[in-house]
Structure 1
Amino acid sequence: MPVKSRRAEYKELTRGAVLQAAARLFAERGFAATTIDDVAEAARVSKGSVYYHFADKARLFEAVFTDGQSRLVETVATAAARHDAPWDQLIAALDAYMDGTVADPAHRTLLQQAPTALGVERCRELDAEMGLPAVRALLENLAATGELAVDSIDMLTLLLFSALCEAALTAGAAPDPPRARDEATTVLKAIMTGLHRPPA
């Protein structure tokens, strides 16, 4: 295993410090109110060091956002993997996704800011790269056992993922996010139950 040079380690540590500081500031102040100078000061690095790793504030926000989404995808995958039956995997994944997006106030704020910070089209591209494959895999497993009541997995993947995202955003913006999360999760499970064909 190759050993990192001291310079490479410093770059990695600097990037990590910038991401950590940016994540906190974006969550506390919002994307529009946070400047690169603010991030540099909070990370205790120069402004040039921030720009070395990130071309502009939007790219910095994207890195913070995708880092959080990656961790969420891993959490969802771990929750699904605890079960053997495809239907149980899907329900566990749904619960983990809603818990992960709503329970963490910082990530909840990032989700709400993403369309403005990155643009709707870029958010869709990131969804296609990170979230859609996971949802599609769960639905394909369900279809493979004959438990899915529809044949159009492509359309169902898009619609289910869109519903998940909207549920997370709506619950996160509610006056009582935990309660709204529970209500949204109940509705999503009811929708999916209507598409489930239990094994004989």
Structure 2
Amino acid sequence: MAKQSGKRMPGRPKAAENGKSTKEVILQTAIGLFINNGYQVVSIDDIAHNAQVTKASVYYYFESKAELFKESIVALMVRIRERINEMLGADKPLYERLMDVTVAHLRATMTIDMDGFMRESRTSLSGDQVHEIKAAEENMFVSIEQAFLEAIEKGEIPRIHAKFAAHSYIALVKVGNYRQADGASLFADVEEAASSIMRVFWKGFIGE
């Protein structure tokens, strides 16, 4: 059996020195650049420069900018789902848990036009890449739907269409950061937006 030399395989980039893998560093850098600047403006050179890796290192892990974008958005949605699961798993009434999720989501996305962001990139993505992003987004709905189903089972809320309720809730949350033509928000602050969203949602679906 051949003895391993401990050397890297040719072409394989060095591991990052901060404890994160090079791939993780590239992904996190790409997420920030894509969200702040849009898909079309950001280049592989920009990502490599900001991640402090070579362009070859980026292409070692991702065959194209479109593939890196897809992986970045999926990774972001996985992180969002994990955070949602953490808040929904708290020992609180469902209303309070949903309020926590609403406030956290509004604060995290208050400067991001996610719908416009996705529209800009869609023409550059393959059908499979769009499908993977949609599947990751759907997983976020599943977490909220499951919270409704568990609350129904415990008798905390009446029987409702859990999937419809989950999609309706997310749609309302997206309205919270809507900007008017002059750039003004519909609400004075995140707390007012969250309270308004939860009031409409709760009365509409729970009836209380």
The TM-score with structure 2 as length reference comes to: 0.69
Match of 1:167 in 2: 172
CA distance in 2, matches of 1:34, 1:65: 14
Match of 1:96 in 2: 100
Q: 2:73 aligns with which of 65, 77, 81?
A: 65
Match of 1:139 in 2: 148
Residues 106 and 173 in structure 2, CA contact (< 8 A), matched pair in contact too? yes
Deviates more, 1:134-143 or 1:180-189: 180-189
Cα distance change, pair 161–77 in 1 and its aligned pair in 2 (3 A): same
Structure 1: state its 5+ residue gaps.
Answer: none
Shift of 1:33: 0.6
Cα distance change, pair 6–114 in 1 and its aligned pair in 2 (3 A): farther
Cα distance change, pair 55–108 in 1 and its aligned pair in 2 (3 A): same
Match of 2:197 in 1: 187
Shift of 1:10: 1.4
Q: 1:35 aligns with which of 38, 43, 46?
A: 43
When you count helix as a share of all residues, which structure comes out higher?
Answer: 1
Deviates more, 1:26-35 or 1:67-76: 67-76
Structure 2: state its 5+ residue gaps.
Answer: 1-5
CA distance in 2, matches of 1:133, 1:100: 18
Deviates more, 1:43-52 or 1:165-174: 165-174
Shift of 1:138: 0.7
Larger radius of gyration: 2
Shift of 1:109: 4.5
Shift of 1:177: 7.5
Deviates more, 1:181-190 or 1:52-61: 181-190
Identity %: 18
Q: What code does the residue aligned with 1:94 have? A: L
Q: 1:21 aligns with which of 23, 29, 43?
A: 29
Cα distance change, pair 121–35 in 1 and its aligned pair in 2 (3 A): same
